[in-house]
Amino acid sequence: MDRRAFVKGCVFGVGLICEARRVEAAPPAEYPRVTLADAAGAPLRPSALAPHEAYCFFYPYVSTPCLLLDMETPVPPALPVPGDTRPGGVGPRASIVGYTAICSDQLSHPNAGFSPIHYLAPGQRDALVRDRDRLIVCCAHSSAFDPAAGGRVAQSPARLPLASIVLEWNAASDALFATAVRGPDSFERFFTAFDRERTLVAGPARVVPLSAYSRKVATC
């Protein structure tokens, strides 16, 4: 290896270490605990979720979109990068997970007209994500994230996992709650870039299919 390539490799390696350290150092933010509700405002039951369908809700801010997924099988806690522990799934099958729908690459996200982000259900394929499914994919630059592994980056250019929405399931009442955010979120960059409202969600967060929230959901 010539000297220039060696130095370049060292700088890249130090960058990755710093990235991991930043994740370790980030204190968990305090956010409200809110009930997840269906489109009519009634408490959302896990049985109302179709497995492998992407649902959209807003948390912890009224302007920050998230995805809710029932992965159908238990999702264990995960460590997508060193020092960044993510919760496992909740619900009767421990299979329901939540993530921010703001791409960690360049902040692409769903809006009412269009979603560049979608979920590849089992058997679905994207031309830009060869031979893989069960992934959250951002078609803006074809980053992919694994919702069964703490939002880990499954395909670059994204370098950081998606932030996890911490969920809770009350078995007695069968209700679902969003309680916190784990991992490096992009909220400050998002507010600055898009001039969005910083108001925290106060009441129930309504959950609707992503295809009902965004008129067009991209495939790539």
* Sole window of 11-19, 28-36, 102-110, 120-128 interacting with ligand FES (rule: CB under 6 A): 102-110
Neighbours of 194 (CB within 10 A): 13
Query: Of 108 and 115, which has the nearer Cβ to ligand FES?
Result: 108
Query: Of 103 and 207, which has the nearer Cβ to ligand FES?
Result: 103
CB 56 within 8 A of CB 64: no
**Separation between Cα atoms, residue 11 and residue 117, nearest integer Å:** 32
Options 44, 96, 103, 181; binder of ligand FES; rule CB under 6 A = 103
Options 105, 126, 146, 185; binder of ligand FES; rule CB under 6 A = 105
- The reply to whether omega before 60 is within 30° of 0 (cis) is yes
For residue 200, state whether it binds ligand FES (rule: CB under 6 A).
no
Tell me how far the alpha carbon of residue 85 is from its chain's centroid: 14
Q: What's the closest the beta carbon of residue 205 comes to ligand FES, in angstroms?
A: 23
**Separation between Cα atoms, residue 79 and residue 183, nearest integer Å:** 10
Nearest one of 177, 1, 148, 154 to 76, comparing CA atoms: 148
Q: What's the closest the beta carbon of residue 141 comes to ligand FES, in angstroms?
A: 3
Query: Of 84 and 105, which has the nearer Cβ to ligand FES?
Result: 105
DSSP 18-74: HHHHHHHHPPPPP---EEEE-TTSSBPPGGGSPTT--EEEE-SBTT-EEEEEE-SS-
Residues 130-159 that bind ligand FES (CB under 6 A): 138, 140-141, 143, 158
Pattern 22-61, ligand FES, x by CB under 6 A: ----------------------------------------
Query: Of 35 and 108, which has the nearer Cβ to ligand FES?
Result: 108
**What stretches of the chain show up as alpha helix (H) in DSSP?**
3-25, 187-194, 210-213
* Sole window of 59-67, 89-97, 104-112, 189-197 interacting with ligand FES (rule: CB under 6 A): 104-112
Q: Which residues pair with 96 in a beta bridge?
A: 70, 90
Q: What's the closest the beta carbon of residue 108 comes to ligand FES, in angstroms?
A: 4
Using CB under 6 A as the criterion, which residues of the chain lie in contact with ligand FES when the complex forms? 103, 105-106, 108, 138, 140-141, 143, 158
